[in-house]
Amino acid sequence: MSSLITPIDIASTLPFIVLCLFGMVVLLLEVFQRQGQSRSYLAYVSAVGFATAAFSAWLLMGVEGQLVFHDMNYIDGFSKVTALLMCTAGAVTCLIAPRYLAELNADRGEFYALILFSAGGMIMMVSAADFIVFFMALELMSIAVYALAAYVRSSRVAAEAGFKYFLMGAFASAIMLYGIALVYGATGTTNLAAIGQLLSYGAASGSVDPALLLSKVSEQGALAGAAGYDTTTGDLLMLNYGSGTANMPLLYLGITLVIVSAVFKVGAVPFHMWLPDAYSGAPSPVGAFMASAVKAAAFASLLRLLALAFFDYELRMGPMGWVQVTFFLALLSMAIGNLVAIAQTSVKRMLAYSSIAHTGYMLVAITAMGYGVGDLDLGASVVFYLFAYVFGTVGAFGILAYLTRSRYYVERFSDLNGLGYRYPALGVAMTLFMLSSAGIPPTAGFIAKFQVFKAAVIAYGAGVEAGEPGALLLLALVVSGILFSVVGVYYYLKVIVHLYMRDPVREVTASDSGPARVGISVCAIATLVIGLFPGPLLNLSEQAMSQMEGRHDGVYVQYEDGAPIEDLQRLMREGSR
């Protein structure tokens, strides 16, 4: 037996470890805190924690992608890039929070610890190679955020938001867990890549023709195999091999439940119900965190799940394949998110609905990614979109937090009236965030939307060449996406109109918090710079996808004499503790 934990295991989880350590440090500092003393410095400590974690992720860039921790985690381009994303969101959240919390009399250290732990969970979740790790990390993330949502205990709205979020989140977790149990029951493994391979198992060796593979898969059942429990070596493949097609239906049921739950977490219509209440009820910094980091983590892990475990052709493109599902979810999310956002009078709620709309746009890219022969590289547009979206969203929520004084929540559109003149820098920043969210050049959001729609068009082209059915629907999706983003322009513009073209209804005085200014400026500058020079970030997001370890890629593992090749065996073995 190899040694229990190798140095590379530790090194590769460094961002996670750093965040957890900092979380504990923050808690400890809180213990030694004098009553009545400001906790702002904890925000800086946490921001430093995020910076350190991001830095460690950056240092790891050179490390080759591989499985670590007994095949439980990956360290790869994807996990590193998304870790950067989550650390950025977390750090900015920490910067905008202290003054807001002080204004609301809620200046307590747990806040930062919860943010740190939650971000740790996200990083772990995105790098998970196994459902068990995945689920634990998911819960680590979620439970901390449930608490954060209800963080301002004195506020009824926040309490309600937190409670609703918790109840529905718990439901989703239960569904996820049930799904994982069913998948495990059907395949005998919780390893994501192994599940992906097993789904396509039974494919004839030497052929990657999807149509042929499709027929083979359905004939033989994915799990017909020969390997199993080897009495001489004691090695065991935790794989329900002998049952032919019998396990497939159960596997599909399990996958359905897992996907339902994952889609719930990203907040796609019709699983979006919790989202507006949670985002708008939670304190603005928490709203920022939920809308940015949590959403990004949910999407990144969805990408990971789909790419590793659920990229089988039949599962994607078969009857009721997930491409059809994401197609409708994307359409619904864009429609409902954008339309309902117009009806809002609260900026926070508008941002919440717009975040649903953004989910829709990203689902367009995911649909494109899964369409036809499947091109995982198209997922890079989602990664890029997440970056653009995170900066725009955190910044916008940050500005709301920045403007909030004790008892004077700044949430309605009319609260922003005329602020563009009173606080010119703030006005410019907010304008940038809104333009970016609306997808208007030269901001990051434009390139992001462009990438997403381009992905769909590329998938359409590939689909036409391969003679896939319904390729035109993808184009229809693009066109409707564009139309709905026009609707989006309307309500984003409303913010700008209020900032510059309306007379103030009541006096709003900004809290004038230094760190918040830093955080907001970082977002604003990033929004503009990414919009003007998207090259490096585009490369980074492409890298994230291309260097994703264990991705299934629609290319089927070849089998010799009915026995899975070495790679699959390695995945199975020993992972089966």
Partner 1 sequence: MTMLLAVLSPFVLAFLAPALNRVLGDLTPWVLASLPALLFVFFAMMIGPIAEGEIMFATVSWVPSLGVDLAFMVDGLSVTFALLILGIGACVVLYAGGYLHGHPAIGRFFLSLLLFMGAMLGVVLADNLITLFIFWELTSFSSFLLIGFNHESQKSRDAAIQALVITGLGGLAMLGGLILMGRATGTWSISEILAAGDILRDHELYLPIFILVLCGAFTKSAQFPFHFWLPGAMQAPTPVSAYLHSATMVKAGVYLLARLNPALGGTDLWMMTLSIFGGITMLVGSIVSLMKTDMKLVLAGSTIMALGALVMLIGIGTDYALIAMGTFLVAHSLYKGALFMVAGSVDHEAGTREVPILGGLRKLMPITFAAAAIACLSMAGLPPFFGFIGKELIYEAVLGAEWLAALLVVLAVASSVMIFAVGGIVAVRPFFGPEHPDTPKHAHEAPLLMLVGPVLLAALSLVFGLLASPDGANLVDIYLLTPLATAIAGQPMETNLHLWHGFNLPLALTGVTIALGVLTYRTWDRTRAFWQALDPFIFAGCQKWFYEKPLAGLFAFADWLFRNIQSGNLRFYFMAIFGATMLGLAATIGVRMTPADFAFDMPDARFYEWMLCILIVVGALGAAQARNHLTAIITLGIMGYSIALLFVAFGAPDLAMTQFLVETLTVILVALVLIHLPQRVFSPRGISRARDLVLSGLFGAMMTLVMLAALRVDQDLFISEYYAANSVPKAYGTNIVNVILVDFRSVDTFGEIIVLAIAGIGVIAMLKYRARRDEDDDGTPAPPPDGEPATPPPDADADPPEGSAAAETTHPEDPRDPATDAARGEEDQADPSDAPTGEGDDATARVADAKGEDAVAESPDEQDEAEDGATAENTDAEMTADAEDPTGGTADNAPQDEPKATAKAEEAPATDDATGEEEKPS
Number of Cβ within 10 Å of residue 225's Cβ equals 23
Based on the shown chain and the rule CB under 8 A, indicate whether residue 130 belongs to the binding site for partner 1.
no
Q: Is the Cα dihedral 531, 542, 393, 518 positive or negative?
A: negative
CA distance 389 to 218: 40
Q: Which is nearer to partner 1, 63 or 496 (CB)?
A: 496
The whole-angstrom distance between residue 277's C-alpha and the CA centroid of its chain comes to 19
Closest CB to partner 1 among residues 30, 553? 30
Position 535, amino acid: G
Q: Binding-site residue total for partner 1 (CB under 8 A)?
A: 112
DSSP state of 376: G
CB of 144 to partner 1, least distance (A): 10
Q: Which is nearer to partner 1, 16 or 402 (CB)?
A: 16
**198 in Cβ contact with 239 (< 8 Å):** yes
Q: Which positions from 357 to 396 touch partner 1 by CB under 8 A, shown as an x/- string?
A: ----------------------------------------
Q: Which residues are CB-contacts of 173 (< 8 A; sequence separation ≥ 6)?
A: 135, 138, 139, 142, 261
What is the rounded CA–CA span in Å between residue 417 and residue 1?
67
**With respect to partner 1, which residue has the nearer C-beta, 236 or 555?**
236
Site for partner 1 in 522-551 (CB under 8 A): 533-535, 538-539, 542
Scan residues 246-285 and list those touching partner 1 (CB under 8 A). Answer: 246-250, 252-253, 256-257, 259-260, 264, 270-271, 273-274, 276-277
* Cβ distance to partner 1 smaller for residue 185 or 470: 185
| 139 is an interface residue for partner 1 by CB under 8 A | yes
- Nearer Cβ to partner 1, position 14 or 499? 499
315: closest CA among 223, 251, 365, 268?
A: 251
Window 445 to 484, contacts with partner 1 (CB under 8 A): 446-447, 450-451, 453-454, 457-458, 460-461, 464, 475, 478-479, 482-483
Closer residue to partner 1, CB minimum distance, 337 or 519 = 337
102 binds partner 1 (CB under 8 A): no
Judged by CB under 8 A, does residue 29 bind partner 1? no
Distance CA 20, CA 30 (A): 15
H or E, element range at 66: strand 66-68
If one asks whether residue 34 binds partner 1 (CB under 8 A), the answer comes out as yes
Tokens read off for 241 = 């091999």
Characterise 467 by phi-psi region: left (phi > 0), alpha (psi -120 to 50), beta (else).
left
Looking at the Cβ atoms of 424 and 514, the one nearer to partner 1 is: 424
Q: Specify the residue, 51 or 177, whose C-beta has the smaller distance to partner 1.
A: 177
Verify binding: residue 65, partner 1, rule CB under 8 A: no
Q: In three state form, how does the secondary structure of 316-338 look?
A: HHCCCCHHHHHHHHHHHHHHHHH
Check residue 41 for interaction with partner 1 (CB under 8 A).
no
Least spacing, CB of residue 206 vs partner 1, in Å: 27
63 Cβ partners below 8 Å, 6+ apart? 8, 11, 12, 75
| N- to C-terminal Cα separation, the chain | 13
CB 55 → partner 1: shortest distance, Å?
Answer: 26
Per CB under 8 A, 186 contacts partner 1: yes
State how far the alpha carbon of 481 is from the alpha carbons of 239, 316, 331, 409, 554, in Å: 42, 22, 8, 33, 27
Stretch that binds partner 1, among 33-41, 60-68, 515-523, 551-559 (CB under 8 A): 33-41
Closest approach of partner 1 to the CB of residue 215, in Å: 16
Find the binding residues for partner 1 in span 298-357 (CB under 8 A).
Answer: 318-320, 325, 336, 339-344
Where in 147-166 is the site for partner 1 (CB under 8 A)?
147, 153, 164
Of residues 270 and 562, the one with the C-beta less far from partner 1: 270
Please state the closest distance from residue 457 (CB atom) to partner 1, in A.
5
CA 238 to chain centre: 30
Task: Give CA–CA dist 71/183, Å, rounded.
Answer: 18
Interaction between residue 48 and partner 1 (CB under 8 A): no
- Examine residue 23 and tell whether it contacts partner 1 (CB under 8 A): no
Question: Residue 63 or residue 227: which is nearer to partner 1 going by CB?
Answer: 227
Query: Per DSSP, what are the bridge partners of residue 236?
Result: 229
Q: How far is the CB of 207 from partner 1 (least distance, A)?
A: 24
User: Residue 560 forms beta bridges with which residues?
Assistant: 563
DSSP string, 238-253: ----TTGGGHHHHHHH
